[in-house]
Amino acid sequence: MKNTINLSIDENGVAELLFDMPDSPVNLLSSNVLNELEQHLIGMSENKTIKIALFTSAKDGIFIAGADISEIADLDDEKTSYDKVKRGQSILSRISVLPFPTVAIINGACLGGGFELALSCDFRIATENSKTKIGLPEVNLGVLPGFGGTQRLKRLIGFSKSLELILGGKIINGNKAQKLGMVDACVPVGYLDFKQDSFIKSILDDNERSKILSKRYKDNLLEKYLPNIILYFAKKEVMKKTKGQYPAPLAILDLFEQTKDVRLDEAIEMEATSFAKLSITQISKNLIGLFYTSEALKKENGTDKKIKTHPIKLTAVVGGGIMGAGIVWLFSKIGLSVRLVDQNYGAIGNAFKFINSAYQAIVKRRRLTKREVEIKMGHISYSCDYVGLKHADLCVEAIIENREAKKKLYANLEAIVDKKAIIATNTSSISVTSLAGDMKYPERFVGMHFFNPVNRMPLVEIIAGEKTSPEAVATVVELAKRGGKIPIIVGDCAGFLVNRVLLPYINEAIKMFEEGEDIERIDKLILDFGMPMGPFTLADEVGLDVGYKVGCVLEEAYGKRMKVANMFDIIYNQKKLLGKKAGKGFYIHSGKNKSINKDVKDLVTMQHSYNSEEIVDRMMLVMLNEASRCLEEGVIKNADYLDMALILGTGFPPFRGGLMRYAQNRGINNVVVTLHRLADAYGSRFEPCELLIRMAKNNENFFEE
Ligand code: NAI
């Protein structure tokens, strides 16, 4: 087997441990690499010629990307996990006791175990390379840093800053890392060699070295007495964000509490114990599964082939409502020229208000300066007609959800834009193939379904119609990624994937309300299940008009099982309620507060209280049944992507791993038995689909165990 670490020692006694994992674009701290490292460290500790040791990487844009996650995924008993993490700790601790100074040269991703290695060194230099990313993101995988990282970081930058970074799994650039004291210097990449040499000289000079060390964090009285207060507020924040459903952040808080006044070796021991407990939880396995899925999605280009995409520089968005405004904002943010077209000047004015406020939120978080925002806003032009669209490389249509209006618009657009320009629709429910029916060049037409609000929702469903070219698909996939979104290819059916699965869920909640169940109780139970909001709150947020119209499209396409609940009809068509945007829906909304809308509540006179489990089952299994149909019909490539799409598009709780993972953890047989029972009690919409029946019969699963 080829080695990962190459040791060289020059005539000045400068040792370099160069990490270069064979046949891999990244360096990982796998068990094998750690063993190799240990051998080097043992040899180096006895080598009297070494004056200083540098830890470097030969990979482009990577220092050490982390521990080998597949090894964490495989852990299934606490003792093995503890032994493994202890071994990692003891190897990294060897770095900290080497008889000469050690320096990590961080020019690229330095995450998790990689940063823990860097923390074991005496000094760290980072670069301003945009690929230099530093942090301990283990919490996102349901564990905590286990190679001494929690304790070494705390000693390096202080209690509150380290807690914040570790709890948030924050990843930051070199300059910020220097500001926080995580690295001793941050230098431009071009100067790295030169700066590295002068840094080595400084470290080897007593005076200069103490100057570097004097800039480090010093324990202060405030930090000594503050931890309890910091922990109290941090816990409050964690509970608010996670409702206690994620064990890792709570374990991190406990560890920080227990190790407040404990020696490093004892504290590290506690860290290992805590890591071992977390690493074998189902929640950690679920989160690791999602990590793999997001990595797989990054590699997708939307087609099976390597394809040249259409260059996109000039764009247009037609329809400046809530969605159009969001898309214009996104395009301008990534530096594209964008022309906003709406038939109505008022709508354009509102769109600019929205775009401005989305940018102001970023300025407030100091991610962009006012000047940068001015430049980006300068990329936006507008008009009420189609002039100026001739040169557009891409036009996104985001007008009202009306088939005829959309088709008429495409005819107008095709008469103006170049025949190669891509036309994308943001329709939330109408088949792309049907919309392309009268187009002259249907191969350039593609679905690009953003979610509301565009500036916060990461998912974009990409839909190819029957005649859409792979080039058009690959182009919008690439564009969505450029915008920081996660594009997922879904089939061209009514509602595509997310709305097709979500609408039956909202419908089911409304049906239970019709049967006499309490709106707030349903919302609360679903919130407790882990969804970001209950179904009635969600319906109000989305807009009852939007939800109702999508519901009708789905009923038309799928028939009885998607029949729009009567009460939805009454509330939208008779009561004319629109939800939060008009202040009234299932709830009365006033600013951030909401209270139940008595007028709606009083529409149902009978009362019926289901048991909690029944409510959750009806809600989750109606979705699950439809999601399984989507899988069966090939609307989505696999169960992993399906889970990710629902997590990103509906907020399905990641700690459950996704809807299909939830089904598997619960047992497919149990799902099918429960669906049969629900079908008997409430109607045929619950009859399990063929895929589920077959899987239960053959003892199959969605995912490998
Ligand atoms: P909206 O009703 O807020 O805005 C539509 C805008 O299009 C209006 O400003 C209207 O003046 C303009 N418009 C209508 N016909 C036009 C034409 N022929 N030429 C130029 N402008 C025209 O609609 P919204 O909510 O922004 O939705 C737009 C599209 O996005 C729809 O297809 C909808 O299904 C889809 N969508 C909506 C989501 C939502 O939550 N609202 C989520 C995802 C997709």
pLDDT at 219: 77
Pull the structure tokens for residue 504.
């039956």
- 113-120 vs 149-157: helix axis angle to the nearest 10? 50
Domain ranges in the chain? 5-280, 314-490, 498-698
Q: Report which of 437, 433, 394, 432 is spatially closest to residue 413, judged by C-alpha positions.
A: 394
Q: How confident is the model at residue 93 (pLDDT cuts 50, 70, 90)?
A: very high
Pull the structure tokens for residue 47.
């080598």
Tell me what the mean pLDDT of segment 132-143 comes to. 98
Superfamily of domain 5-280: 2-enoyl-CoA Hydratase; Chain A, domain 1 (3.90.226.10)
For atom 15 of ligand 1, the residue with the nearest CA is 399
Judge whether residue 306 has pLDDT over 90: no
Tell me what the mean pLDDT of segment 81-105 comes to. 98
CATH architecture for the domain at 498-698? Orthogonal Bundle (1.10)
Pairing of the two strands 14-19 and 5-9? antiparallel
CB 340, CB 382: distance < 8 Å? yes
Q: What is the DSSP letter of 699?
A: T
pLDDT at 704: 86
Q: Tell me which of 1-5, 8-12, 331-335 is least confident.
A: 1-5
- Write out pLDDT tens, residues 159-169: 999 999 999 99
Best mutation site among 323, 425, 434 for ligand 1 pocket (most ligand atoms within 8 Å of CB): 323
Residue 341 near ligand 1, beta carbon < 6 Å: yes
Judge whether residue 549 has pLDDT over 80: yes
pLDDT at 631: 98
pLDDT at 153: 98
Best mutation site among 341, 382, 387, 399 for ligand 1 pocket (most ligand atoms within 8 Å of CB): 399
Tell me what the mean pLDDT of segment 634-642 comes to. 98
CB 65, CB 109: distance < 8 Å? yes
Residues 52-66 as b/e (b if ≥16 CB within 10 A, e otherwise) read bbbbbbebebbbbbb
SS3 state of residue 596: strand
Residue 499 near ligand 1, beta carbon < 6 Å: no
Best mutation site among 387, 400, 432 for ligand 1 pocket (most ligand atoms within 8 Å of CB): 400
**36: number of Cβ within 10 Å:** 19
Residue 322 near ligand 1, beta carbon < 6 Å: yes
Q: Tell me which of 108-117, 211-220, 461-470, 684-693 is least confident.
A: 211-220
Annotate 609-661 with three-state secondary structure. Answer: CCCHHHHHHHHHHHHHHHHHHHHHHCCCCCHHHHHHHHHHHHCCCHHHCCHHH
Residue 401 near ligand 1, beta carbon < 6 Å: yes
Tell me what the mean pLDDT of segment 409-432 comes to. 95
Q: Report which of 382, 394, 392 is spatially closest to residue 344, judged by C-alpha positions.
A: 382
Give the sign of the dihedral formed by CA 159, CA 161, CA 165, CA 171: negative
pLDDT at 119: 98
- Write out pLDDT tens, residues 343-357: 999 999 999 999 999
Residues 506-534 as b/e (b if ≥16 CB within 10 A, e otherwise) read bbbbbbbbbeebbbbbbbebbeebbbeeb
343 alpha carbon – ligand 1 mean position (Å)? 11
**113: number of Cβ within 10 Å:** 28
Judge whether residue 481 has pLDDT over 80: yes
The CATH number that domain 314-490 falls under is 3.40.50.720
Percent of the chain with pLDDT over 70: 100
CB 528, CB 243: distance < 8 Å? yes
For atom 40 of ligand 1, the residue with the nearest CA is 452
- Write out pLDDT tens, residues 211-267: 999 999 887 777 777 888 899 999 999 999 999 999 999 999 999 999 998 999 999
Q: Report which of 615, 631, 634 is spatially closest to residue 682, judged by C-alpha positions.
A: 615
For atom 1 of ligand 1, the residue with the nearest CA is 321
pTM metric for this prediction? 0.93
Judge whether residue 668 has pLDDT over 90: yes
DSSP 23-87: T-SS-EE-HHHHHHHHHHHHHHHT-TT-SEEEEEE-STTEEE-EE-HHHHHH--SHHHHHHHHHH
223 alpha carbon – ligand 1 mean position (Å)? 52
Tell me what the mean pLDDT of segment 466-495 comes to. 97
User: Up-side HSE of residue 344: CA atoms within 13 Å toward CB?
Assistant: 10
Instruction: State the first-to-last Cα distance of the chain, in angstroms, to the nearest integer.
Output: 29
428 alpha carbon – ligand 1 mean position (Å)? 10
Residue 447 near ligand 1, beta carbon < 6 Å: no
Which residues have a catalytic role annotated? 449
